[in-house]
Amino acid sequence: MSNVRVRFAPSPTGYLHVGGARTALFNWLFARHHGGTFILRIEDTDRTRSTEEAIDQIKESLNWLTLDWDEYYRQTDRLERHREIAEELLSKGAAYESEGAVWFRAPRSGITAVEDLILGRVEFSNSEFKDFVILRSDRTPTYNFACVVDDHDMGMTHVIRGDEHLNNTPKQLWIYEALGWDPPSFAHIPLILGPDRTKLSKRHGAVSVLEYRRRGFLPEALVNFLARLGWSHGDQEIFTREELIRYFDLNGVRSAAAVFDEAKLLWLNHEWLRRTDPGRLADLLAEYIVQEGVATEEEVRALGKERLVRAAELLRERNKTLVDMAHAARFLFPGELPVPEGAEKFLVPEIATPLEEIAAALEGLYEFTPQAVEECIREKLAELGLRLKDVAQPIRVAASGRTVGPGLFDLLTLAGKELVVERLRAASRRLRGDVK
């Protein structure tokens, strides 16, 4: 099957949602796996609902997911062709005109069988159907008609689409037959459901692909997750793009609908955050820090790439999204830090002196590395007769504004001597003043 030609044919009436993205992904993987051609065709024949913004969003979404297309078409560019074929159907008597629209004459009896690659043979009783419009009174083609003409003209070998189109297939098959054309193979993939088990839609919350980007998901995580919704390869859960291309095929696709489980997506995203190249992750982290208003672009730049990379490496261990990482990076930048919920118990008056002493000791350090910082703090603690356990959390809260985070010495090193010393002293001062 080296001449495989498939397409993703969205209607530009809104953003690309994850269900559509999954259909695009399956088509793309099928094409890439077989060394075929992946086509993006915008089905914009409904002029009242189609928008340019939607087309841009769809392209941007596919680009973000790195689902590149080899050919691109817009259905409305082919109106003349659609009308021409409608005429042909008219002259053949397969269609007729009524009330200004062109109607296709549906068979009144018999059965139509769809040989689906995933579902197997599905039979429909022709009496279930009625004649249907192929050309509206404004001379624009309707879905079932334009779809057939384009799929034929564009040489599609397989039509891989959502389950909701299964009932349309008989109608399309009749049109192929009336025109004397060979239909492509069909593969209807199961729907993606929301937690309530109804077709996933906006009322289920975030469903737009770009929304997942905004929320700090990595495209490889979303792709990996979407691929595993309805498709599997043994027990493997994590797939690189190359593995997906190598293993993907229609025989691994299930026929049952799947629920979109965000908890698992989160887990996968964490896995991918930890597998991603640190340099790239650092750049992404910088973007999200600005996006989330954690720091300004200038402040991020002032931090320098090297520290950003180190921050990304440490922060990705304990955060599941880039957005979470960005917020966890707050302490890298100047400014007052919050006292997190539940941290009051660490900031007790008795700790004021140790904090001050440790700040002074750290200030004298020439080399501010994790090893040096640890040595310095442990030395000071021995001197004070305290254990690390006694001061670790107070220091962490004072220096980072959080009760959880990277290992203490890594955290202090990352924040830098200046900020750490300043914050430990500020905390110490505050504790003395707060003695009440």
Catalytic site positions: 202
Taking the complex as a whole, how short is the minimal distance between the CB of residue 12 and RNA, in angstroms?
9
234 binds RNA (CB under 7 A): yes
CA distance 49 to 266: 34
Please identify, using beta-carbon distances, which residue of 75 and 157 lies nearer to RNA: 75
Number of residues in the chain: 436
| Residue of 112, 144, 157, 269 that binds RNA (CB under 7 A) | 144
- Is the Cβ–Cβ distance between 415 and 400 less than 8 Å? yes
Please identify, using beta-carbon distances, which residue of 187 and 300 lies nearer to RNA: 187
Taking the complex as a whole, how short is the minimal distance between the CB of residue 298 and RNA, in angstroms?
29
Instruction: Identify residues 325-384 at the interface with RNA (CB under 7 A).
Output: none
Please identify, using beta-carbon distances, which residue of 136 and 430 lies nearer to RNA: 136
396 binds RNA (CB under 7 A): yes
Instruction: Identify residues 405-434 at the interface with RNA (CB under 7 A).
Output: 405-409
CA distance 306 to 187: 49
Quick one: which of 230, 415, 232, 420 has its CA closest to 332? 415
Please identify, using beta-carbon distances, which residue of 268 and 300 lies nearer to RNA: 268
| Residue of 33, 81, 83, 264 that binds RNA (CB under 7 A) | 264
- Is the Cβ–Cβ distance between 275 and 267 less than 8 Å? no
Using the rule CB under 7 A, give the single segment among 206-214, 259-267, 326-334, 350-358 that binds RNA. 259-267
| Residue of 90, 94, 106, 122 that binds RNA (CB under 7 A) | 122
| Residue of 51, 167, 185, 276 that binds RNA (CB under 7 A) | 167
Sign of CA dihedral 239, 32, 181, 45: positive
Taking the complex as a whole, how short is the minimal distance between the CB of residue 429 and RNA, in angstroms?
23
Please identify, using beta-carbon distances, which residue of 290 and 370 lies nearer to RNA: 370
Beta-carbon-side half-sphere exposure of residue 253 (alpha carbons within 13 Å): 29
263 binds RNA (CB under 7 A): yes
Q: What is the residue whose two structure tokens read 């459901």? A: 193
Q: Residue 402's CB: how many other CB atoms inside 10 A?
A: 18
Residue 398 makes CB contacts below 8 A (sequence gap 6+) with: 347, 355, 423, 424, 426, 427
